[in-house]
């Protein structure tokens, strides 16, 4: 399989996303000068599967194996506690401003590791090696880093672009089916935002639905198309002042659902799946949908990808309270990213909470 490369031209730093099977050797593109060192922050579950290969790539690229800090798997590790432990590890290893941090794992690890890199000594270089589909197509690309707090998801963080992202699709073969499906939710989100990607995803949905057994070339193209789409958005609006906000389609609902359920009931992609359906339903209530079959097509695609399409019975007031802390709230009023059709999405300000409440009741 050929190596694919997508360049991300962000104001905070330009870099490549290298995509393919067996491409960890691309780490050599971020060299260490004499006296410089590297350290790894990794998801413990991912490290058990891929740590040996990553260490071999580090040794090939830098001449030695770096020290490793393993974080317990799961969204709960995107926390103050784990950030403090990670920083204590960097201090213990005497990682300096010119050194390199390598974040390895799913979205939790790339978010936490990226934020540690942003905060340590006010910013050091970092490389992301995402090991889940969700992280390869979304979380590891674009420079968003951060942690969760009790009040909500991703409320504490920073924009800190990596020097390189290595999306090795060979690493996806060890993913449990549920984790792979969770990543497809972000692919579906991108598809709703881009008509061409929507058509491509639907056209190849049967092969994509095979998960880790899908043709590696099809998976590599899926990752490449999604990364290229996100890279274009990030290049135009790195800090989410305009167009990048559209990438939050479904996420106001999803983040509230994750927060209210304690980050344990749903994987992020599963919450996004439900959030996408909720956004479609709200758009329909507000008379915004112009593509009549979008909601049905979306539900069919999500089901094909083994993602949840039935909302749980959760008090709408709890969700609304959590939504009030969403980063898209402006002047105390809710704003939602809502679809009109595939490729036609907009930010809708001042949405009446009563309409959101009614939507949530319909979904339950």
> Which two structure tokens, joined as six digits, stand for 348?
């809708």
Residue 227 · residue 323 · CB < 8 Å: no
Largest CA distance in the chain: 62
Say how many C-beta atoms besides its own lie within 10 A of residue 287's C-beta: 7
Q: How far apart, in whole angstroms, are the C-alpha atoms of residue 235 and residue 342?
A: 22
Q: Is 92 exposed, middle or buried (0-12, 13-18, 19+ CB in 10 A)?
A: exposed
- Binding residues for Zn(2+), as ranges, are 186, 251, 268
> Which two structure tokens, joined as six digits, stand for 24?
């960890």
Residue 15 · residue 161 · CB < 8 Å: yes
- Binding residues for NAD(+), as ranges, are 131-132, 144, 153
Q: List, as one string, the DSSP characters of 66-104.
A: PPEEEE-SSGGGSSHHHHHHHHHHHHHTT--TTSEEEEE
Say how many C-beta atoms besides its own lie within 10 A of residue 261's C-beta: 14
Q: Is 135 exposed, middle or buried (0-12, 13-18, 19+ CB in 10 A)?
A: buried
Q: How far apart, in whole angstroms, are the C-alpha atoms of residue 17 and residue 162?
A: 10
User: Angle at CA 15, nearest 5°, toward 251 and 147?
Assistant: 35
Q: What are the φ and ψ backbone dihedral angles of 161, each rounded to 5 degrees?
A: -75, 140
DSSP three-state, residue 132 = coil
- Binding residues, as ranges, are 131-132, 144, 153, 186, 251, 268
């Amino acid at each position: 399989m050929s190596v694919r490369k997508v360049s991300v031209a962000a104001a905070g730093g330009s870099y490549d996303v290298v995509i393919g099977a067996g491409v960890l050797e691309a780490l050599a593109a971020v060299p260490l000068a004499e006296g410089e060192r590297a350290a790894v922050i990794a998801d413990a579950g991912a490290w058990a599967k891929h740590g040996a290969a990553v260490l071999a790539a580090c040794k090939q690229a830098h001449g030695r194996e770096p020290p490793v800090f393993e974080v317990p798997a799961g969204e709960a590790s995107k926390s103050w506690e784990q950030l403090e432990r990670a920083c204590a590890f960097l201090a213990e290893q005497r990682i300096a401003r010119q050194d390199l941090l390598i974040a390895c794992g799913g979205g939790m690890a790339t978010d936490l590791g990226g934020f540690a890199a942003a905060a340590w000594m006010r910013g050091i270089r970092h490389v992301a090696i995402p090991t889940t589909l969700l992280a390869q197509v979304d979380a590891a690309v674009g420079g968003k880093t951060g942690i969760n707090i009790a009040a909500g998801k991703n409320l504490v963080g920073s924009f800190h672009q990596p020097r390189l992202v290595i999306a090795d699709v060979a690493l996806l073969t060890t993913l449990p089916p549920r984790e792979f499906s969770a990543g497809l939710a972000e692919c579906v989100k991108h598809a709703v935002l881009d008509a061409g990607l929507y058509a491509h995803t639907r056209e190849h949905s049967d092969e994509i639905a095979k998960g880790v057994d899908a043709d590696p070339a099809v998976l590599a193209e899926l990752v490449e198309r999604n990364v290229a789409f996100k890279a274009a958005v990030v290049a135009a609006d790195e800090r989410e002042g305009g167009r990048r906000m559209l990438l939050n389609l479904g996420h106001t609902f999803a983040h509230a659902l994750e927060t209210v359920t304690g980050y344990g009931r749903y994987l992020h992609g599963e919450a996004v799946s439900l959030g996408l359906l909720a956004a479609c339903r709200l758009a329909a209530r507000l008379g915004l949908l112009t593509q009549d079959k979008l909601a049905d097509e979306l539900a069919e695609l999500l089901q094909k990808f083994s993602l949840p399409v039935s909302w749980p019975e959760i008090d709408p007031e709890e969700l609304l309270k959590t939504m009030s802390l969403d980063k898209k709230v402006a002047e105390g009023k809710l704003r939602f990213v809502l679809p009109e059709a595939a490729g036609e999405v907009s930010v809708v300000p001042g949405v009446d909470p009563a309409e959101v409440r009614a939507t949530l009741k319909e979904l339950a």
